[in-house]
Structure 1
Amino acid sequence: MSVVILAVQIVLSGLVSYLLLLTFTAFRASRRTQFDTAVTHHFLILIPAHNEEKLLPELLANLRRLDYPQERYAVHVVADNCTDKTAVIAQQHAAVVHERFHDQLRGKGYALQWLLQRLWDSNVPHDGIVILDADSVVSPNFLQVMNARLARGERAVQ
């Protein structure tokens, strides 16, 4: 019986040792992810907004703090059928503002379709498009991650 107990203790000790090794390695690993910066893609960040004057300032301030060259991304806000100060606030935060009013075609899908058509018709340069809700907050390295994924050849990222 003591041989069985000894065998179980050895197996359990091995498993615990393995988990401790993984934990130690994880803590010692570098927390900073390195990204390929040979190519810096240009992004369009699109924000469909309907009466978002309360939420929009936080997102726009968050986007200005991204750890990515500001000349390599542009923030476009489509103020869709707004009756508040959404457009004014977006403009105050240096976003490109597109005001849209339509009685029947209302909602995020129509607003994005309208904005994308305007951008394509204007030949606005870009390598990637990011669509965010007005209540979003992104991490400082968000565009670095998107840039690396585009550099790897990914065509769509969710």
Structure 2
Amino acid sequence: MLIVFEVLYYVLLVFLAIPVLTFCIQILVAVLPGYRNQKINLQTASVALLIPAHNEAAGISDTLNSIKKAATPNTRIVVIADNCTDNTAEIARSHGAEVTARSHETLRGKGYALDFGIKYLSDNPPEIVIVFDADCLVHQDTINALVQSVIKDGRAVQGLYLIQSKPTSPVKTKLSEFAYVVKSWTRPLGFYRLGLPMQLMGSGMAFPWSQIAQADFSHGSIVEDMKLGIDLAGQKMAPKFCPEAFVSSIFPEHQEGEKTQRKRWEHGHLGMILQEGVPLLGRGIKSFDLDMVAMALDLCVPPVALLFLLSGLFSLLSLILYVSGNETFPLMLGIMQFLLLSTFVLIAWVKHGTKIISLTALLAFAPVYAISKIKMYISFFGDRQTEWVKSRKD
């Protein structure tokens, strides 16, 4: 029995070492001093903004108003009214947007809407395409910054996209916001400083027309943005981070809506790790492509709550080995990696989390929050979410 535990321990050590070390390196580089935002210049390239929208009548006005304030010259605003049963299309037209409607009984989701939008643009293609969600706010200079980055790098770029909680939101939502900030800001900033790529996040994505015109959105993935970023990395055109561009939205206030959103994100991410992460890492190593390796390593970092749970399990196995055979070395490894991960979570909180949640609340509720998600992670193996479902926000 002890041998079985030892084998399980060292297998888990190998599987955990890669994401834990990747996470810690990203956070470490992100907190180093010296980074300054680039100067944003007025850009004149022809731009099309694609906004997939499914029953977004309640909030699309705010989105379009923010976009119009940030729009550059030669900008088209195109709303894809996807399987809408409300007056989203009419509201979008009243704000001066082009509207193209799509309806399909079975092929539903953002990926199919984007595929439809790209085909709509193909008759008069722009130089650059930027994708925004229909429930976000686009902040000043964002469009200029994205266009400037695409022109500079000649590839897809991802702006800083944050999903925020309201001041009155419960602690669980604050923890979700902090976890999302680490994923979409702190970790990408670390890789950005190293000249490495980042994942696409869904809103605030910008592409040269030549790239997005050839992209495959019609595969029905529930994390179509992540899948596209991996595809681009496989073509040696991995997306870059553009921290000067800022897009924000709000977590669903409805508990069921937030649960649905979280399950879609995390099941989709875990599916991508299994299907794409290891193969992409192997291809990157074989071809000596650092961007591809970095993209695979970043992809293989699971949601921070799951990483915390796995690290805790690893520490428990270390304790079992110590009690069973008085083996100090495994116990030290288990405790060290758990402390390392916990320390860098706290460092990330110091960098980008102090205005989101207090240290007391983080320390008190983070373990409970992680444990509460065990059922969702287990359901990945028996009740995996594979279809796109719109999150209820109200």
Give the CA deviation at 1:36.
Answer: 4.2
**Cα deviation 1:26-48 (Å, max 9, x = unaligned):** xxx9x9x63344x5211110010
Q: In the alignment, is residue 130 of structure 1 matched against residue 116 of structure 2?
A: no
Match of 1:24 in 2: none
Match of 2:364 in 1: none
How far residue 118 of structure 1 moved from its aligned partner, in angstroms, is 2.2
Give the match's secondary structure for 2:58. Answer: coil
Task: Please name the residue that 1:7 is paired with.
Answer: none
- What CA distance in whole angstroms lies between the structure 2 residues aligned with 1:107 and 1:153? 30
Please tell me the residue identity of whatever aligns with 2:49.
I
Cα distance in 2 between the residues matched to 1:90 and 1:136: 14
The residue that corresponds to 1:76 in the other structure is: 78
- The structure, 1 or 2, with the larger RCO (C-alpha pairs under 8 Å, 6+ apart) is 1
- In the alignment, is the contact (CA less than 8 A) between 2:40 and 2:141 conserved in 1? no
Residues 67 and 45 of structure 1: CA distance in aligned 2, closer, same or farther (over 3 Å): closer
- Inter-CA distance 67–80: structure 2 relative to 1 (3 Å threshold): closer
Runs of at least 4 residues off by over 4 Å: none
SS at match of 1:115: helix
The aligned length equals 125
What SS is found at the alignment partner of 1:79? Answer: strand
Equivalent in the alignment of 2:157: 157
Which letter maps to 2:66? N
How far off its partner does 1:49 sit? Answer: 0.4
Deviation at 1:150, TM superposition (A): 2.6
Q: Distance in 2 between matches of 1:110 and 1:58?
A: 24
Q: Which has the higher helix share?
A: 2
CA distance in 2, matches of 1:144, 1:80: 27
Alignment of 1:1-158 (within 5 A): 34-37=39-42, 40-66=44-70, 68-69=72-73, 72-120=74-122, 122=123, 124-158=124-158
Q: Distance between the aligned counterparts of 2:117 and 2:72, measured in 1?
A: 24
AA aligned to 1:52 is E
**Deviation per residue, 1:76-132 (Å, 9 max, x gap):** 000011110000000000000001111111111111111211221x1x231111111
Give yes or no for contact 2:51–2:80 (8 Å, CA) kept in 1.
yes
The Cα of 1:138 is off from its aligned counterpart by 1.4
Q: 1:101 to 1:67 in 2, by over 3 A?
A: closer
Name the % identity. 36
Instruction: Provide the rounded CA distance (Å) in 2 between the counterparts of 1:118 and 1:81.
Output: 16
Instruction: Tell me the distance in 2 between the aligned counterparts of 1:35 and 1:141.
Output: 7
Q: Which TM-score applies when normalising by structure 2?
A: 0.30
Structure 2, unmatched stretches of 5+, are 1-35, 159-394
C-alpha distance after superposition, 1:9-58 (max 9, x if no partner): xxxxxxxxxxxxxxxxxxxx9x9x63344x52111100100000011000
Higher Cα radius of gyration: 1
TM-score by length of 1: 0.71
- Aligned to 1:152, the other structure's residue is in SS state helix
Q: Distance in 2 between matches of 1:106 and 1:35?
A: 37
CA separation in 1, counterparts of 2:69 and 2:114? 24
Distance 2:97 2:52 in 1: 12
**Structure 2 SS opposite 1:78:** strand
The structure-2 alpha-carbon separation of the partners of 1:67 and 1:103, relative to structure 1 and needing over 3 Å to count, comes to closer
